[in-house]
A and B are shown apart, each in its own frame.
Chain A
Amino acid sequence: MHPILARPGRLLPYLAACAPLAAIVTALLARPGGLFLGEAVALAVPLTVAYAFMGLSPWYLCRQFPLKRERILPIVLAHALAGAVIASLWVGLAALLAAGFGLIPAFQSLPGRFAGQAIALLAAGFLLYLLSAALNYVLLALEAASEAERREAELEILAREAELAALRAQIRPHFLFNCLNSISALASADPPKAQEMCVRLGEFLRKSLSVGERKTISVAEELALSRAYLQVEALRFGERLQVEEDLDERGDLCQLPPLLLQPLVENAVRHGVASLIEGGKVRVSVACSAGRLRILIENPLDPDAPARPGTGVGLANVRQRLAAKWGADGLFAAKRLADRYMVVISVPAEVAA
């Protein structure tokens, strides 16, 4: 439906805006040798109202034929044809009206005088059609712009929500309570280690809170955060937790949404290494080449372990955040093999301005 007809409040102002058109049509009909002024007004008003509605029709054609440089010829032809049809219909309507007036004895000579003006009216109808088409194109462009704006705002909200979810998930109560318990254990058994754990935990929490505010952080900063987390976990898991990093210094400066990798590293520990009696190695590798940043996080897991509830939500969150920032260019894949689990992120390598 045409946007002017879509909302009832728009119709009256639109018709009012067509009033000058009535004046033009009147002037056209009342040219010397044509109609008398009264006759011209009587004919021009219904014709203008009719055209006001006929003038909406290019909207559909405009939507069908969006303005594109490479398709200009078909666009011009289509509108020329439509303009000719609309103008002819309009003039036909005018002739009918004139004939109608001619039935009244006082206006007997009107149809004859009208015939002389028909060609001018046809030309005017055609030009009006072109004007209307142009206005409809402007209307379409405005709509497209507001649609794009709305979409962008939606993406922004999605990204914010994803960040909030990431922040909430960040400080998992389970993790905190376990840390507190470890600290209380170390406090008497190994006081220097208890102090170290307090420092590491403090460092991790501080970093988490400070980066959450920002839109993007560098890979180096994100990895530092993950490392702080892993150091805390190492105090709990001891020998069972090993970490291997395979870094690329070109990747260090690349930007990512904050707290994207850390939850993935945390999953690798909680659902991977922690599920194995002997523990295992979390592998983080970063590579940057051909304009793309690729990050792989891999962990071993217990083949008998059932799929953990909740991880799907976390992964969906990562996917959403990448999509919000890069659209189809932000790739994310998670794969469970028999005894390993891996997640891969591939995004355009973007360095902070």
Chain B
Amino acid sequence: MVRYLLGRVGQALAVLALTFTAAFLLLQVLPGDAIMIKFMSLDMGLTADQIAEIRASYGADRPLWERYFTTVGNFLTGNFGISIQAGVPVSQQLATNLPPTLLLASLAFATALLLTIVLAAVSSMVGMEWLRNGLQSLPSLFISVPVFWLGIMLIQIFSFQLGLVTVISPGPVERLVLPVLTLAIPISAPLAQILMRNIDQVLAQPFIAVARAKGASRNWVLWRHVARNAIMPTLTIAGVLFGELLAGAVVTEAVFGLSGLGGLTYQAVGNHDTAVLQAIVVVSALAFVTINLVVDLLYPVLDPRLGTSMGAVT
């Protein structure tokens, strides 16, 4: 187990290093850079000599390999550089924006899971065919709703029309209600689709008929046998979908005017703020790698068969 764990952590670090390098190179390939955008724009009215001095002061005139190793060294010592556009250290931007995004993403993820489970459970337990069909078609609806539109609709209805929540400088809990819903609904859709289909598939298997024949109630079978078997593929997808939370957060944060990595990414992309983007890529890669590691480690806990087969391989 320890060897397995070390192997997986090693893989994770390799992925991180590759992501870092790829991001660095790709950001260099883009036309122009943050210094050019900030200072060379005709609006600044600076002369060519002044711009050359500025470039030199940022080390932007150094060769590529030198800048790469400087950046690696800086990251290893926790120095993420400076946002040229915003004029603040990237670490300060991360400190402001990372915690709210993590909170939003985790709450949205938890809400999405809750929505999924409730939807799947109710639709499998409910007897009436029409209601069941209705519930089962909800995810298709959720998945086709654009996050942007959903956010604006929720604000218009619950804040501007009904006045139930404030959007501009709200309280700490109030701040999160609508954004979490906005983000959770589209994420819950693919999860619910997969979970529902799996429940149907597992229900059709012979061992269910055996359990029912032995006198187990439908609900008992659902919770004891079906749920456990149906949750595995959902878990895999959930790991992948966590990444989509960041994409969704860009829109959600813009619509609700929240601090977060989403808005920061949007601004940084617009201005080619390389240092900021580099840091965001590394933080996101770290999150991805961690989530996938956790999901992989959860498999054997949920399904003992995976644990033994793994043992057999090693």
Do A and B actually bind?
Answer: no
Chain B contacts to A: CB under 8 angstroms = none
